[in-house]
């Protein structure tokens, strides 16, 4: 007699969530003082740049660590500490890396956005919200940091009514967002496609963008 195959209920299924993509966010202490210093500085640079007011947010050169006020260095040092905590070597041991940062400013006026992009010359990237332009209290104003699903859109295009069971399944093929909040510092992998949604408020969303390489 042939053996009776086991039923599904008799089989122990081991399911893993693969390809995790870390995003680390903290609220920096002293954000009000940082805002007072950096907002004024970046708005002045924005004004001097003669930006034409199109749909693309203004972004400064990558020179803020050398040209900007000391508050820039305070943000970057916090980001470097976060990056070290998030990094290990291939054996799973803590990796002490002397991160080399680069930093630029962003001023997002009404009707402006930052297009999707990645930083292929760095290991970590990040964003610090200097001023949320009122979007923290009213999220519909936009200015959110958006991440495209690195698994791609194919699953959603083929079967948008289906997803994976388990952690992270509900977000399959869907962009994730981080709402603006003054003082919020985010660190994430540089290869992750990132953008900032259109801002619809009356003020400005002001931020520092940075990369950390080795």
Contact 122, 204 (CB under 8 A): no
Query: Strand 176-178 vs strand 205-213: parallel, antiparallel, or unpaired?
Result: unpaired
pTM of the model: 0.89
- pLDDT (tens digit per residue) in 148-171: 988 777 667 788 788 888 777 777
Query: Strand 184-189 vs strand 24-27: parallel, antiparallel, or unpaired?
Result: antiparallel
Could you give the CA distance from residue 60 to residue 68 in angstroms, rounded to a whole number? Answer: 11
Domains of the chain: 24-162+171-213 (2.60.120.620)
SS (H, E, C) 151-207: CCCHHHHHCCCCCCCCCCHHHCCCCEEECCCCCEEEEEECCCCEEECCECCCCCEEE
Q: How far is CA 214 from the centre of its chain?
A: 19
Could you give the CA distance from residue 70 to residue 210 in angstroms, rounded to a whole number? Answer: 15
Question: Which residue from 172, 166, 167 is spatially nearest to 153, judged by alpha carbons?
Answer: 172
End-to-end CA gap in the chain: 65
pLDDT in tens, the chain (214 residues): 566 665 555 677 777 777 778 999 999 999 999 999 999 999 999 999 988 779 999 999 999 999 999 999 999 999 999 999 999 999 899 998 999 999 999 999 999 999 999 999 999 999 999 999 999 999 999 999 999 988 777 667 788 788 888 777 777 778 889 999 999 999 999 999 999 999 999 999 999 999 999 9
């Amino acid at each position: 007699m042939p053996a009776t195959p086991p039923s599904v209920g008799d089989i122990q299924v081991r399911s893993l969530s693969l390809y995790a993509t870390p995003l680390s966010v903290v609220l920096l202490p002293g954000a009000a003082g940082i805002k007072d210093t950096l907002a004024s500085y970046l708005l002045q640079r924005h004004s001097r740049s003669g930006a034409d007011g199109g749909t693309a947010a203004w972004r400064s050169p990558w020179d803020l660590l050398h040209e900007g006020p000391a508050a820039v260095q305070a943000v970057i040092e916090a980001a470097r500490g976060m990056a070290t905590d998030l990094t290990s070597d291939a054996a799973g041991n803590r990796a002490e890396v002397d991160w080399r940062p680069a930093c630029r400013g962003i001023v997002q006026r009404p009707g402006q956005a930052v297009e999707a992009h990645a930083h292929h010359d760095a290991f970590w990237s990040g964003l610090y919200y200097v001023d949320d332009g009122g979007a923290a209290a009213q999220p519909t104003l936009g200015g959110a940091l958006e991440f495209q699903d690195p698994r791609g859109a194919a699953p959603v295009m083929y079967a948008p009514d289906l997803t994976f069971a388990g952690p992270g399944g509900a977000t399959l093929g869907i962009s994730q967002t981080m709402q603006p909040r003054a003082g919020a510092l985010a660190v994430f992998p540089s290869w992750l496609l990132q953008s900032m949604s259109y801002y619809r408020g009356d003020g400005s969303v002001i931020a520092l963008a940075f990369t950390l390489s080795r």
